[in-house]
Structure 1
Amino acid sequence: MKFSENWLRELVNPNVDRAELCHRLTMAGLEVEGVEPLGAGLGGIVVGEIVECEKHPNADKLRVCKVSTGAGEFVQIVCGAPNARAGLKAPLATIGAALPNGLVIKQAQLRGVDSFGMLCSAKEIGVDADASGLMELPADAPTGAPLAAYLALPDASIELKMTPNRPDCLGLVGLAYDVAALFGAPLAEPPHDPVASTVDTRRDIRLEAGADCPRYLGRVIEGVDPGAPSPLWLAERLRRAGLRPISAVVDVTNYVMLELGQPMHAFDHDTLDGTIVVRRARDGEALKLLDDSERTLDGGFLVIADDARAVALGGVMGGYETRVTDASTNIFLECAHFSPPAIMGRARKLGMHTDASHRYERGVDPELPRAAVERATALLLAIVGGKAGPIVEAVLPEHLPQRRAVNLRRDRLARVLGMHVPDAEVARILAALGMHVATTADGWQATPPSRRFDIEIEEDLIEEVVRVHGYDRVPTRAPSGELKLGLPPEANVPATRARAQLAARGYYEAVCYSFVARECLDRWSRADGAIALANPLSADLAVMRTSLLPGLVEALKHNLNRQQDRVRLFETARVFAKPASASREDWPVETRRIAAVACGRAAPENWSADKRTVDYYDIKADLETLLALAGPGRSIEFLPLDRPDFHPGRSARIAIDGEPVGVVGGLHPRLLKALDLDVDVYAFEVDLDRALAGRLPAAAELSRYPSVRRDIAMVLPQEVTWGQVESVLRASVGEVLSERVVFDQYAGAGLGSGLKSLAIGLILQDSYRTLTDQDADRCVGLAVAALERECGGKLRG
């Protein structure tokens, strides 16, 4: 927000210089982002009037002007400005004057003609960036008067970086409350006394948007002078606040918005048809806005309409067809209170950002519209004349926000700040900020004004006290007391080790957006439980991700499109989903996961490396090294997987001690085609906390006795997995079975359809004695019997 320092000091004028004012504002949380001094050092510059303007005898683009400096004195000025003409009043720098850019005015001769001064543009005197011609002053400007006094200079344009929780300071009056509290200076609010109606012309109003617009006011002003210019003081205040003066009616509405913080709009009353209605837009409804753009709306937008059509986009911008023009003599002045959620994001959805939407999105005082209409009416009647009708107000009291009293405890204030603030100072600060303060037994009860949406709990009042009292006055103290050092469980593997392990396996870490498009999750069949954002940055970032793989595969595709034919990426991050329990539907579930994707050659290209491409067993091996970080003693199973995003014959679901933790395998060809990928991509994704939940290692003595190996060949049904076989072997043979390996697999002629042969090596070892042949044969018998019984197998002859 930009504003004129002189304008602020007209409302509240603390006895400090500009530097101290800006410093205290910044320290109070209203950061001063920039200060632009205006019109400093204008001594010797006066209001000049061009009495005569003749063409230069020796130059086509120069003119010789006779300029009055007041009291019957005239000087000759040679000027090249295109707008120089007789009767124009403009700044005149006399001989000896020093301009803000350092130029000292001297007598000069231009193409043989003497010049005794300089007529100036706005840029040359340091009040604006316009250098296209002379700065044109109003016709009633007093000739010969010092320019600085006439333009209320010097001044400064101060820009604040406003935080979203302080919309009250988007109006100069709200900012003045803070300045008055900071310096203990008196505050003089601008007048907004009721203006009596002199005509009975009115326009009915109907509210159909419920809580989205609970208050709307309008007033007809007849017989205005559309050609009346804005007075210089008003135009200059707008210009120093960063707004370009347009016309008197529009300038007044902008002025009131800057002064009070309440956006307003003026319609050409004669272009409206019947009752004003505040309603939701209809799907496909078209509206041409003031910026000459045609917009197609939907039910998410609010519109101001009459009986025939929509005439303005509520909280954003007025309509083109009903705008005030140079021919408008009757205007309808309107002002409303919109609920912030009803306006939030609407302008951005149309690729727009307006002063009105900026304020309404953050919240505008619901009690301000009437004061704004009265203030604007008084200014308009004084500037463009006319006769005012009565104010017509439509209101839904049950939907207006109410400010409730908040308690502030004396002990709580001292405990949070670590210091004592005198009771009288606390009461002064709260009252100076416009709150109604009552003393209680243990502190104060403060009712915030209607403009302070950000004050709801005790901590908000503590913040108000400390920022006005001064953050720099809060003492710095070292914490006291005994602190306990918290250590993570020794058995858990930190995520840093997991990342280092994958990096050692040749993967690069990626960081992807936590937001994705819903269409992306639909493509992956991962949209169930997805959480939609209330105010997304764009349609491509509309929902929270439920899996890390969509983002990783997009990053992989990005690299493939840039000639990287071997890509290995991983990410550790959180995914989000709606909870299964309906009682906590507002609490999203966050899960830490680790995922990786790979494509291309299995090994980097070199003269001795295998040239095969990555396959299921490569990605499975990488995952197994990751799971091994948690140590031995866990049962890890790779079980059949049936999911639409993974290849049915090249993927598996992972279970640890019977609990599912993730998936691994190749992506489904249909998904690869939908993603426009022409290479096989393998991936895994597991819950990080469950996958790396290790157990404390238990030391055991290595057996001093030799091992015995027995090999068996079992004919098994094709659907029996090695994981099932391994579980049966462990359960039947017991601790004597130290290892088991598959060294051959066969399926085909001689076995029959639906059968396979597994050649299994059983390594047997005891910690207390040497196993005999009879021991080994007994173990083999137990294993074969268990496989026949539980897996439908048969010992191959």
Structure 2
Amino acid sequence: MLIPVDWLREYVAVPTDATGEQIAADLVRVGLEEEGLHTGGVTGPLVVGRVLTKEPEPQKNGKTINWCTVDVGESNGTGEPQGIVCGAHNFEPGDLVVVILPGGVISTPHGPLEVSARKTYGHVSAGMICSERELGIGDDHDGILVLTRKFADDDALISSLRPGMDAIPLLGLDRETVEVNVTPDRGYCFAIRGIAREYSHATRATFIDPAIALAAKAPEPTDEGIAVELRDDSPIRDRVGCDRYVARVVRGIDVSAPTPRWMATRLTEAGMRPISLPVDVTNYVMLGLGQPLHAFDLDTLEAPIVVRRARDGERLKTLDDQDRALDTGDLLITDRGGERPVAIAGVMGGAETEVGAGTRDVLIEAAHFEAVTIARTARRHKLPSEASRRFERGVDPALAAAAAQLAVDLLVEHGGGTVDPEVTDVGSPTPPAAITMSVGFPTRIVGVEYSDGQVVDVLESVGCDVTRNGDLLSVTPPTWRPDLTTAEDLVEEVARINGYDGIPSILPTPPGGAGLTHAQRVRRTVANVLATQGLSEIWSAPFVGADRYAALGLDVDAEVARSVRLANPLSDEQPLMRTRLLATMVDGLRRNVARGARDVALFEFGLVVDLDGPQRNAPTEDVGVLPTEETLAAIRAAVPPQPRHVGWLLAGDRDRHGWWGEGRPADVTDAIDLARVVGESLAVTLHVVADTVAPYHPGRCARVELADGSVVGHVGELHPKVVAALGLPPRTVGAELDLDVLTRAAEVTVQASTLTAFPMAQSDVALVVDEGVTAAAVEEALREGAGETLESVNLFDVYRGDQLEPGKKSLAYRLTFRAEDRTLTTDEVSALRDSAVKAAASRTGAVQR
């Protein structure tokens, strides 16, 4: 909601020295949200100028420009006429115009633009003659703003204009507009009336509700007014769609009469475009009081008017020239006794009854529509409007007569004509229900001591009718506050009017030991990452037998020596604690496959034992005897190391098949990719190096290590003999990483890299290496040789074929360079690439193709 400060001053006693910033701060104190502060988007020398000469000059491109001299008085420091090139033609010598001189700044859709003297079309143009759109005071951009036309109705003002006069206050570009965000429960703040009331609450400034005087001025309804019937066949939540309808008629108006300049200015500052007098009047009343209005061409209506729900198959052409199919939930304004729809109630009028150039008699509609009905209709037709925004948040049902009175007064004053004495006012809105609340309830809920007098004063100040009976208050909310329905709503009013800043911020003291440890956060991070990659977490019992080590192709004697043997195992066939997570994970994979799962991706966290030396037996003490320190030390020494590992197994398709195409089976690259993703999630750089260890397939196994060479684990495709021995799907891939190693590596503080706006430079190299040289080794050498400006290295092609010697392969890499402080030259990039290739040749024997 945009609130012009000058308009706000008419409703509430804002101090003359109060700035827009102070007003916004005051509104924030009572719970509104500040969105911004706006002034005219022009700064610098903006002055009145008189056109002295205008010389048209046709150009080769077919365009004709005008070379003008403009008298700007002494504002340019010399008193000499200013030479300016202008492309508009709607002015003549002698006209008063608005000129922005060099050094001035105007707002454009692309940001601020500083005006300077520059050579164009063969002349040095020292400034710019401005249009309304360039000044931000209108949409007209077809020609420049001619002051003698704009202020044609104000002879005194025109006679006071002099070249060189400051045009910023003249055009109101120094006026401030405060923008606030209105929350859904505060619909009454979609009007200057509501904002003024909130400003009064915040500052205790005097507020006089303009609706009171207007309602007193409005005549009583008569039986001779235009006939209106409220007919709603599908009430929502026991509330009819329209419970009040006021209609007033103004005859003989001049719809072509200009909108008063002050009204057009306020509408523009409030974010609405002036259109015509009847439309501008209805918008002005809506913005001022909060009651949406609609103006009908009376000659196009045939009484009686009926407000009803739409029927199946009905259609209506709305003001935006769209022919709309209506829904039975839509509330309509109809004439001819309900036969012809003429408007979608509370949303948009119909084209047939639109006020046009030939309109002489106007019917003003001021009605109260049910919020849910309007909200559903606006969303159903994708037709949000300023009216629907207000109705769906709740409009004051007592406001209709006052708003209609203000509208007819403005139409008569500025459009001529006379008001019919007959007034239609039908319907009876349901009055707000009283709320019972203990006078001490706000203190108990908020935790701040509010006196009984404070509670009553606040509720009365927001418009509530308060009756006290002992400690109980009977509170009837005002008609403009449909959001006040419970005692908790009233507590919020007490808290916000007394000031949220008066509620102390007391930080509760957490109990000792609360919160996650670093290791716990690492486990959660890794679990979340693997789950988002499509893996399912399992748990497997950590007990194995020696036959499992044999099935995995491990050195059985060595593994048994590292295992802890249980004194009382659950199964005699599984007397050992596992030394590897995969030793028990394979049971989960096999069980899923046996039960019909084809594509399986599993992961598990678990402890393994890593016995170093003979197994120790821990000493025991009798029950009730406190162990000594020596006994406790012996118990701890008997507990073998139990590192925590994470492992995963993939079988079947990694990318599943469907209508989009064939699937792709999981392979070792998927297992490696998961390891890289885990490392990235912890900000730990992992290196993958070819290796050969059980239970993986030789040539399809890799070692994962840190930058310092510390081994994190292994990934690879399980050996075919292992797959056959365990009854697993063919080409099963897996991985097992030491999570404790990753946890320690993740404790290092991550240094964020600096973002740079300088462009990257790329260079491709193709290197021929022996078949046994890994791509990772070549990449590492390239990184070392390229230096710090290397941003990334990507392998994008591998070639083996007739063009290479037997036992050779070609690896093509794309090197991306970027400097933080400059744009790299071609020579620099070439030198960096050559340095990288030289390092690769030295370390891996690579030869550039």
TM-score bracket for this pair, using the shorter chain length: 0.5 to 0.7
Q: Which AA in structure 1 matches 2:257?
A: A
Q: Which AA in structure 2 matches 1:260?
A: L
2:492 counterpart residue number: 463
The residue correspondences of 1:342-421 to structure 2 (distance < 5 A) are 342-390=373-421, 392-397=423-428, 400-421=429-450
Query: C-alpha displacement at 1:134, in angstroms?
Result: 2.2
Q: Which AA in structure 2 matches 1:21?
A: I
1:335 counterpart residue number: 366
1:783 counterpart residue number: none
Structure 1: distance between partners of 2:68 and 2:452: 70
Question: Are 2:57 and 2:65, in contact at CA under 8 Å, matched by a contact in 1?
Answer: no
1:25 counterpart residue number: 27
The residue correspondences of 1:99-114 to structure 2 (distance < 5 A) are 99=105
The residue correspondences of 1:59-458 to structure 2 (distance < 5 A) are 60-62=64-66, 64=68, 78=84, 80-82=86-88, 84-86=90-92, 91-93=97-99, 98-99=104-105, 119-125=129-135, 127=137, 133-135=143-145, 137-141=150-154, 142-143=157-158, 144-145=160-161, 147-190=167-210, 192=214, 194=217, 202-209=225-232, 211-307=240-336, 308-390=339-421, 392-397=423-428, 400-442=429-471, 444-458=473-487
SS at match of 2:202: helix
| 1:714-758 CA distance string (max 9 Å, x none) | xxxxxxxxxxxxxxxxxxxxxxxxxxxxxxxxxxxxxxxxxxxxx
Query: C-alpha displacement at 1:431, in angstroms?
Result: 3.1
Identity of aligned residues (%): 33
Query: C-alpha displacement at 1:395, in angstroms?
Result: 2.7
| 1:580-601 CA distance string (max 9 Å, x none) | xxxxxxxxxxxxxxxxxxxxxx
| 1:104-145 CA distance string (max 9 Å, x none) | 989999879898975323355454676554235231342244
Point out the more displaced range, 355-364 or 93-102: 93-102
Question: Are 1:53 and 1:85, in contact at CA under 8 Å, matched by a contact in 2?
Answer: no
Q: Which AA in structure 2 matches 1:361?
A: E
Question: Are 1:93 and 1:105, in contact at CA under 8 Å, matched by a contact in 2?
Answer: no
SS at match of 2:9: helix
Q: Which AA in structure 2 matches 1:164?
A: P
Structure 1: distance between partners of 2:101 and 2:384: 47
Change (3 A) 1:504 1:271: closer
Unaligned runs of 5+ in 2: 234-239, 515-522, 538-585, 605-657, 664-849
Change (3 A) 1:283 1:505: closer
Structure 2: distance between partners of 1:57 and 1:341: 61
Query: C-alpha displacement at 1:614, in angstroms?
Result: 8.7
Change (3 A) 1:392 1:53: farther
Question: Are 1:78 and 1:110, in contact at CA under 8 Å, matched by a contact in 2?
Answer: no
The residue correspondences of 1:717-732 to structure 2 (distance < 5 A) are none
Change (3 A) 1:99 1:621: closer
Change (3 A) 1:479 1:96: closer
Question: Are 1:27 and 1:467, in contact at CA under 8 Å, matched by a contact in 2?
Answer: yes
Q: What's the TM-score once normalised by structure 1's chain length?
A: 0.56
Query: C-alpha displacement at 1:348, in angstroms?
Result: 1.3
SS at match of 2:296: strand
Q: How many residues align?
A: 515
SS at match of 1:348: helix
Structure 2: distance between partners of 1:344 and 1:37: 33
Structure 1: distance between partners of 2:81 and 2:594: 93
Change (3 A) 1:200 1:109: farther
Structure 1: distance between partners of 2:348 and 2:106: 38
Please state if 1:475 is matched with 2:504.
yes
Unaligned runs of 5+ in 1: 487-495, 511-607, 627-674, 681-797
SS at match of 2:217: coil
Q: Which AA in structure 2 matches 1:182?
A: A
Structure 1: distance between partners of 2:219 and 2:30: 40
SS at match of 1:277: strand
SS at match of 2:320: coil
Structure 1: distance between partners of 2:32 and 2:9: 17
SS at match of 1:258: helix
CA RMSD of aligned residues (A): 4.7
Change (3 A) 1:347 1:391: farther
SS at match of 1:45: strand
Query: C-alpha displacement at 1:391, in angstroms?
Result: 5.0
Question: Are 2:39 and 2:173, in contact at CA under 8 Å, matched by a contact in 1?
Answer: no
Q: What's the TM-score once normalised by structure 2's chain length?
A: 0.53
Structure 2: distance between partners of 1:470 and 1:422: 14
| 1:754-780 CA distance string (max 9 Å, x none) | xxxxxxxxxxxxxxxxxxxxxxxxxxx
Q: Which AA in structure 1 matches 2:400?
A: P
Structure 2: distance between partners of 1:200 and 1:63: 67
Query: C-alpha displacement at 1:478, in angstroms?
Result: 5.4
Query: C-alpha displacement at 1:453, in angstroms?
Result: 0.5
Structure 2: distance between partners of 1:431 and 1:243: 34
Q: Which AA in structure 2 matches 1:158?
A: V
| 1:583-635 CA distance string (max 9 Å, x none) | xxxxxxxxxxxxxxxxxxxxxxxxx99x9999882359999x99xxxxxxxxx
2:673 counterpart residue number: none
Change (3 A) 1:129 1:305: closer
Structure 2: distance between partners of 1:505 and 1:414: 47
Change (3 A) 1:126 1:216: closer
Q: Which AA in structure 2 matches 1:245?
A: P
Question: Are 1:206 and 1:278, in contact at CA under 8 Å, matched by a contact in 2?
Answer: yes
